[in-house]
Structure formats: C-alpha cells, structure tokens
Amino acid sequence: MNKNSVKIRVIYADTDAMGIVYHTNYIKWFEIGRTELLRERGVVYAEMESLGYNLPVIELWCHYLLPARYDQIVLVETEVVHTRRASIKFNYLIWNESKEDVLVEGSTVHACINKQGKIVRIPAVIMEKVNQ
C-alpha cells in the first residue's frame, strides 16, 4: 500500500480566535502523516539522522479548501508519489472525519542531504523501504 492515514483531533492551541485551524498547522499535520507513513515502512527519522542523512523540505504546495475547527477529527492521508535518486515527493489530503470533504490538499518534495548539507543519493536501504 502506497498510502497511510492518521487521525488528528484539532486542539485549541492550533486554532485562531474564531476556532478555525491556523493555516501553518496543516503543514505540521503533513509532517505527522509523512513520518508515520515512513515509520510504517521501517524508516524512522531519528535512525536515518544517526546514519548521517536528513530529508529537508525543498518544495511545498498547499491548497486550502475548507476550514478545520476546534475539537474536530481530521484524517491526514499521505502518499509517496515518486522517488528519485536524491529526492522523495509526498502528496497529502486532509479530510473531515467522515471522509466526505477534503479540507486541504498539498505536496512536499524532500532532498536527501548528508551531515555537511550536500545533496546525496538516498541510501539503498532507505529507498527499498520507502518504495515497498
């Protein structure tokens, strides 16, 4: 399976004065979805970092369709779109709990870098797990 889904309850701290989720929190939820998808495949960020690799965001796109509100349950659906020698692209859909409405859609591209910040090929062991 190329996708995963994570449930998140909107907390008060993630909303503005109107009880609507502040726009940058959706980006945080993208990260939660992405890290959980990778974890399901056996790629743990902390372990990857201990090997000397990081996956910083080099591109981000986000389209807000409908607001999420305080105490609402949202579903963050994450999918690996493609992998290249030194990058990975993820797509995201944030749904309402019943999956009737897409609230936000987006994508991120991540480059693989070493400890010196140089773009490098994604190690084969990581690439195999991501593409499983």
- In order along its 132 residues, the chain shows pLDDT tens digits of 579 999 999 999 999 999 999 999 999 999 999 999 999 999 999 999 999 999 999 999 999 999 999 999 999 999 999 999 999 999 999 999 999 999 999 999 999 999 999 999 999 999 999 988
Kindly report the pTM of this predicted structure. Answer: 0.94
129: enclosing H helix or E strand: helix 124-130
Under the phi-then-psi rule, with left for phi > 0, alpha for psi from -120 to 50, and beta for the rest, what region is 102? beta
* Cα gap 106→79, rounded to integer Å: 11
Q: Is 14 a catalytic residue?
A: no
Neighbours of 103 (CB within 10 A): 20
pLDDT of residue 22: 96
Please name each of the domains of the chain with its CATH number.
Answer: 3-130 (3.10.129.10)
Residue with tokens 């790629």: 43
